[in-house]
Structures are given as structure tokens and as C-alpha cells.
Structure 1
Amino acid sequence: MPPIAPDGPRRVLPVTGYTLALSWSPEFCKPREGQRAHRVQCSGDNGRFGMVVHGLWPEGARTWPQWCPSDASPNPARVRAQLCISPSARLVARQWAKHGSCMTRRPETYLNITRILWRSLRTPDYDRISREDDLTAGLIRKAFAEANRGWEAEHIGVRLNARGWLEELRLCYGPRFRPAPCDPRRFGAQDSAPAKIWRGL
């Protein structure tokens, strides 16, 4: 497993909810297609990814817990099984060390919860949606909510980059892993914000 070093302060805080961050892989890979570090996700050797799991993040009342003390590390075989939804061993190891360690004592539990949440979701056809005229962050939210029973637009954060391209969905959960309204930090772009979705062509 790749070594992971903290890049910020340790914050051990009560958990008030969770965010499941889903990255739009074509946008992530656009400048990284030839990079060895991102070969699994971006080379095309393993097919083309759409939405992938960036991470499952515990949230606190005003900020988020991170880098909680733990001597545990993910089992390489379990990480390998996770690569279909999070196609980078370094990413999986980092998400456990930074976020999962603040949720549970065992990496396997963190990975299992992440997979259960992922499997409960349906990803809209964002390739088709990308071709719609006058696409906005609100339409991206609406498409996800319509594809997933129990989800409303207020539960879905949309992160666009500075040029308006979709980077990530941030799905907001309450403490019992039920969809919950996003706070402004996680909600991201307003519904009226113009948006574009890179299809990887």
C-alpha cells in the first residue's frame, strides 16, 4: 500500500453527517491521461469510467473531522476490490487515513459502507445530458434526483471548476445515512449556474 502522510491538522470531532463525493472521471482524466500515477483510471486500458467514488467523508457541525489517530491500514486485497469504484490505490488509502479513520476503527468497515452507498445509487446518463442546450447545475441535480428515489435537489451538491465543467457530485447524508439537505459549503454551484460536462472525446 502506498504510504500516506497527513497534509493538514488532526481534528477529532463528533460526526453529524456524511458526504459521498463522486468525481466525474472524464473531466479528472482530461489533463492526466498520460500520467503513470493515474494509469488505472485514465489510460483507457480498463475501459472508460464515468462517475467514480472520490471518498466518503464524515462531517462535523462547523468543519469536518480528519486524520484521526489509527494504526490500521487497508488490506491490499480489499483495496484491489475497491478499484472498480475508486480506481486508485493511493486514493483509497488516503481516503481511509484522512476520513475513514474518523468514522470507524476498521478500514474494512469504511470500505464496506462506501460500497453499500455506491451500490444503492443509479447514475443518470450524463453523456446524453451533456448534449442538452442551456445545461445548468440545477439540471445536473434534477437528473440525479429523478434517477434515485428518495433524493431531492437540496441533497445534491454540484462542484464545477472555474470554467464551468462538472467536476464532482457531493451527496449529503444525515447521521443515519439518509439523504439530507446540503449546507452551503457542500451544495456548491447554484441551480442557475451554467454547466458543461466533458464526455472524454
Structure 2
Amino acid sequence: MKPSKNPKNRTIQQLIALVVIGIFAVVTWFNNEQKASKESESKPAITKSSEPNNTTAQPTTKVDVPSQLGNYDTNMARDNLGQNKNASVDYYMLALSWSPSFCENQRNKNNGEIPQHLAFQCNQAAQLGWVIHGLWPQSATARDASDHPRFCQGDLPKLPESLIKQYMPESPGASLLQGQWEKHGACAFNSAEDYFAKQKQLFRSLNLPGQELSRKELFAWMKKFNPQLKDAYLGASKNELYICYDKSWNVMDCPR
């Protein structure tokens, strides 16, 4: 059909074209809005207060393990609590430490200085959040720390550096790893490697907050973001968090 030469008709045609273009633009906008709305509804809303803030089951920054670890052997004779090889192993307690507060306390106790055996952990405290203190076999009848199993195999030889380095920085110190193995791990595990691997596995199974919280806030956070802890009674002391497991590695209530 030829375009109309009548000016009035041309004006009508132009108006119709504008209306069609306008309708098309409105329909396109409406469809895009609906699509965006559906995408928004399909994603859970995450607020700053409810988001697991930088979960630190492993350090977020790469930490270099020193090439030389120095003398990290543990001397049982110098331990204040000594040996208790006859105590029963009834459950386990995973002890986690908030590294920034721990290191601050160490500086306060040592006139601003850090003891040499803590240098690896505390010289990098800003990069480390929650770390493993230890995994402790515990006795249900214990009344104080000395009643729990300790040094069950006596004073053990120093572990190879190659083994120690595998489990840093989750357990940030050679003397820490050696000491925890001799004091605690040897009471329930056949080898240091089995012991270190188990505590690392438990540690990595947890979501952990990336900031310091009050005890009440910490317990609430842990229960919210770790469903397996929802009904468990947790423990805490100073800058530490305690989670307890039965002998089948199910979460259980820590002693009150």
C-alpha cells in the first residue's frame, strides 16, 4: 500500500506508529521488571548482621610456615600438672582460641614482648582468627584439669618437622603441636598424624565468626551457622571456645 499523500492521513499514521513504539517500550520494561523481581525472590536475602562474616575455618590470608622451627620438644618434668595415665577417656573437647586476644594477653603479660615459642602465631595475629588450641580426651569424673588424661605415654620424642609443618597455621606453633600431642593426643590416638588430622577435620567442619564477640553473642552465632551445634551446650573461657564430642564423634553437651 502506498503512503497517503494527504497530510492529515500522514499525521494519523505517525501518531499510530508512536503509540505502537510506546506500547512496545512499556511491555519490554514490564517484562524486564518481572524477570528482575523473580531473580531477586529466588535468592535469599543476606543482611550484614546475619551473614557468616568471613568464616575462618582456615585463615583467609596465606601464612608462610618458617623453614626452621627451632627447639619445640616438650619436657614432661616441667609441666605443672604432670602425668595422669590412668584416667578414663569418656569424651573429647575441641578447644579453639581467638588468636588476636590471646596474643594481646601475651604481650600484656610480658611487657609488650612475645615469647619466642609464640612468635609464629603472634607476629601474624592479624592474619589468624580462630585457631586450634587442642583436642583433649576428657574424663567424665574429673574435678579439675589434673584429673583428665595427660601424658599417657610419658615423655615422647620430638616429632619430625615435616609432620609439624603440615598442620600449621591451623595450630600455629611447633611447640603447641608437639605439646598437645604428648599431653593429650597420645592418650587416645595411635599416632600424632591421626591426632592432628582429626582435630583439623573437626576445625574445618565449623563455620567461625571473623570478629571477636561476647560469650553470649559467640554461642548464638555458632548455633545459628552450625546446625550440628544448635542443641549443644558449649563452653568458653577467656579467649577460648569449647565444643564437646562423644566417643563416636557426635556433638554433645560440654560439662556445665
Where on the TM-score scale, by shorter chain, does this alignment land: which range?
Answer: 0.7 to 0.9
CA distance in 1, matches of 2:219, 2:74: 33
- Structure 1 residue ranges without an equivalent (≥5): 131-135, 161-166, 185-201
* Residues 2 and 89, structure 1, Cα contact 8 Å, conserved in 2: yes
Q: 1:32 to 1:14 in 2, by over 3 A?
A: closer
**Counterpart of 2:92?**
18
| Runs of 5+ unmatched residues, structure 2 | 1-70, 108-112, 143-147
Between the two proteins, the alignment pairs up a number of residues equal to 170
SS at match of 1:125: coil
Tell me: CA distance 1:180–1:151, structure 2 relative to 1, closer, same or farther (3 Å).
same
Distance in 2 of aligned mates of 1:17 and 1:68: 16
Contact 1:20 1:57 in 2 (8 A): yes
How much is the aligned-residue C-alpha RMSD, in angstroms? 2.0
Q: Secondary structure at the match of 2:92?
A: strand
- Residue identity over aligned pairs, in percent, reads 29
TM-score, normalized by length of structure 1? 0.77
Matched to 2:118, the amino acid is: H
**Does structure 2 conserve the Cα–Cα contact (< 8 Å) formed by 1:74 and 1:108?**
no
Whole-Å separation in 2 of the counterparts to 1:89 and 1:12: 27
Distance (whole Å) between structure 1 residues aligned to residue 127 and residue 194 of structure 2: 28
**What residue number does 2:151 align with?**
67
Q: Tell whether 2:128 aligns with 1:49.
A: yes
Q: CA deviation at 1:153?
A: 5.7
TM-score under structure 2 length normalisation:
0.61
For the 8 Å contact 1:53–1:85, the answer to whether it is kept is yes
The structure with the greater share of residues assigned to helix is 2
Specify the structure having the higher radius of gyration (Cα). Answer: 2
Report how far residue 22 of structure 1 moved.
0.2
Quote how far apart the aligned CAs of 1:159 are: 1.2
Segment drifting more, 90-99 vs 105-114: 105-114
